């Protein structure tokens, strides 16, 4: 039996709508993440297709759809909310309290005209990418399982429906606070602030403490994204989790050829959420959180703005420290030296000029100490490598060990994800299971899976990714 302990469902009724999943025709289990289930204290055998799709609501669950609002692509979108996700409840396992959500579980009052369903492609994509992120050591929601619904959904054409069981530290978003701020509901803001602090940052105090803690977690998260060439693709305020986890894998992508301004999302026409724009967007989103908290910070609006501004001013330094720490490790460096930033930027600039494969360039540094096969601009590698080697010589220990544990050999490459989805649409889930297996050990060489480490061949490149809805 799954031991639920539901605290969000005890919050005031205006935080959510109680909503059972909408039953489906013929549930069929695709996969269960057995290791994660055990970590949550759940017997994997209990996770049936009926549970994964919501046809059976387990005892102790209190299904609900959360309400929130937010900015989307910088524009205020007003009330949003879980339009196709149902929070079954919370469990307390080896790593603390976790939400279990069914994504694609049917219409809710927040569906905004949608059908509340998901099709197979985005479900498999989120499963693979979120689990790959976890294996890379990056804070993220997790995938507990996936199932087919036995029903079709219409997305330009009929496609097989599916449901993803997602696990998260919580689903509290910047947009959760914005929702109650927009409604002028100070009481709800105070309740949500206290709840979020107790759940995620018990060492922090009050709205300013929450803001600073959220800033620190986001600075670390985005620095880690940049370190693996990850582009979230849709960093709206309703997609920024207060827990500091990566959430909502829609048009996300990992870069192949390095381009700091790379965008994949088909709806990001102006590059708002490009790879190199993500730190600035994180700060922008945090400023929206600060605005929502102003009424709790001080009754004097000017004093509240000044206090929040003082906290927000620290984001740049927070991110810089996190960013340098990530890229120092990628270069095998443990100590900090004044020239490290220039050394890192020098390498990235050369990679950009050569359109070097992001993952393979850093993996080559870790494996052989020679990335000249990827940094191909004449003289570019030779003009950088001696400074790096001299810097490594001043390090103690084994820099290679650090680099091999930091620079993955395998990432979920876009063309492989698309090929996996196409195979699954034909009923072949072998590529899906193979990707899951290989990406669970991203820092191991795995010579038998060498093909999954390679960038796309000409004609295989994926230039656009699409929102999962």
- The rounded distance, in Å, linking the Cα atoms of 424 and 160 is 10
The per-residue pLDDT for 464 is 87
DSSP-based three-state secondary structure for 262: coil
Nearest to 246 by CA among 268, 262, 228, 259: 228
CB–CB of 219/434 below 8 Å? no
The pLDDT, as a whole number, for residue 94 is: 87
The tens digit of pLDDT for each residue in 173-217 reads 999 999 999 999 999 999 999 999 999 999 999 999 999 999 999
Task: Give dist(CA 308, CA 311) in Å, integer.
Answer: 5
- Whole-angstrom Cα distance, residue 111 to residue 116? 6
> Residue 243 in 3-state DSSP?
coil
Question: Helix (H, G, I), strand (E, B), or coil: what is residue 405?
Answer: coil
**3-state secondary structure at position 207:** helix
Cα torsion 137, 118, 248, 411: sign: positive
β partners of residue 173: 241
C-alpha span between 52 and 10 (Å, rounded): 24
* The residue count for the chain: 469
Query: Mean pLDDT throughout 228-234?
Result: 97
Close Cβ partners of 159 (under 8 Å, ≥ 6 residues apart): 119, 120, 121, 152, 153, 425
Say if residue 260's pLDDT is above 90: yes
pLDDT of residue 1: 82
Note the pLDDT of residue 31: 98
Q: Taking Cα atoms as reference points, which of 279, 246, 465, 455 lies closest to residue 359?
A: 455
**44-65 pLDDT tens trace:** 999 999 999 999 999 999 999 9
Share of the chain above pLDDT 70, in %: 100
pLDDT of residue 25: 95
> What is the Cα–Cα distance from 173 to 196, expressed in whole angstroms?
10
Domain segments of the chain as ranges: 8-168, 333-404
Which conformational region is residue 63 in: left (phi greater than 0), alpha (psi within -120 to 50 degrees), or beta? beta
Q: Which residue has the tokens 């809710």?
A: 108
**CA distance linking residue 442 with residue 452, whole number of Å:** 11
Task: Please give the positions annotated as active site.
Answer: 238
Cβ neighbours of residue 133 closer than 8 Å, sequence gap 6 or more: 140, 230, 246
Say which residue the tokens 């302990």 belong to.
5
Between strands 142-155 and 28-32, the pairing is: antiparallel
Q: How confident is the prediction for the chain on average, in pLDDT?
A: 97
What is the predicted pLDDT for the residue at 394? Answer: 94
Q: How does DSSP assign 311-358, residue by residue?
A: HHTTHHHHHHHHHHHHHHHHTT--S--TTHHHHHHHHHHHHHHHT-BH
Contacts for 56 with CB less than 8 Å, ≥ 6 apart? 48, 50
The secondary structure element, H or E, covering residue 104 is none
Give the number of other CB atoms < 10 A from CB of residue 257.
17
* pLDDT at 469 > cutoff 70: no
Model pLDDT for residues 331-376, shown as the tens digit of each residue? 999 999 999 999 999 999 999 999 999 999 999 999 999 999 999 9
């Amino acid at each position: 039996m799954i031991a639920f302990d539901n605290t969000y469902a005890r919050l005031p009724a205006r935080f959510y709508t109680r909503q059972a999943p909408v039953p489906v025709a013929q549930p069929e289990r695709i996969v269960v993440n057995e290791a994660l289930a055990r970590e949550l204290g759940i017997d994997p055998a209990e996770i049936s297709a009926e549970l994964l799709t919501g046809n059976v609501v387990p005892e102790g669950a209190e299904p609900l759809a959360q309400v929130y609002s937010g900015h989307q692509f910088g524009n205020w979108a007003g009330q949003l909310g879980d339009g196709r996700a149902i929070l079954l409840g919370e469990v307390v396992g080896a790593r603390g309290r976790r939400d279990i959500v069914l994504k694609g579980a049917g219409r809710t009052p927040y569906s905004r005209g949608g059908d509340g369903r998901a099709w197979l492609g985005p479900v498999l994509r989120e499963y693979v990418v979120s689990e790959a992120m976890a294996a890379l050591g990056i804070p993220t929601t997790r995938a507990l399982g996936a199932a087919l619904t036995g029903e079709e959904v219409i997305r330009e054409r009929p496609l097989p429906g599916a449901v993803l069981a997602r696990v998260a530290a919580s689903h509290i978003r910047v947009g959760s606070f914005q929702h109650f701020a927009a409604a002028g509901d100070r009481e709800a803001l105070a309740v949500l602030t206290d709840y979020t602090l107790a759940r995620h940052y018990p060492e922090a105090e009050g709205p300013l403490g929450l803001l600073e803690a959220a800033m620190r977690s986001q600075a670390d998260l985005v620095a880690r994204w940049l370190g693996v060439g990850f582009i979230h693709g849709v960093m709206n305020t309703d997609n920024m989790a207060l827990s500091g986890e990566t959430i909502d894998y829609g048009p996300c992508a990992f870069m192949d050829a390095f381009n700091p301004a790379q965008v994949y999302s088909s709806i990001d026409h102006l590059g708002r959420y490009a790879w190199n724009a993500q730190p600035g967007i994180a700060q922008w989103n945090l400023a929206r959180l600060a605005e929502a908290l102003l009424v709790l910070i001080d009754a004097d609006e000017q004093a509240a703005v000044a206090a929040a501004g003082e906290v927000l001013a620290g984001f740049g330094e927070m991110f810089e420290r996190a960013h340098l720490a990530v890229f120092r490790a990628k270069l095998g460096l443990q100590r900090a030296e004044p020239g490290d930033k220039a050394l890192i930027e020098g390498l990235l600039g050369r990679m950009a000029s050569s359109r070097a494969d992001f993952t393979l360039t850093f993996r080559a540094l870790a494996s052989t100490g020679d990335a000249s096969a990827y940094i191909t601009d004449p003289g570019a590698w030779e003009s950088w490598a001696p400074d790096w080697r001299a810097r490594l010589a001043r390090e103690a220990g084994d820099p290679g060990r650090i680099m091999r544990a930091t620079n993955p050999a395998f990432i979920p490459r876009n063309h492989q994800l698309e090929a996996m989805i196409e195979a699954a649409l034909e009923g072949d889930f072998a590529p899906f299971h193979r990707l899951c297996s290989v990406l669970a050990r991203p820092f191991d060489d795995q010579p038998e899976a060498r093909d999954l480490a390679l960038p796309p061949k000409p004609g295989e490149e994926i230039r656009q990714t699409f929102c999962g809805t």
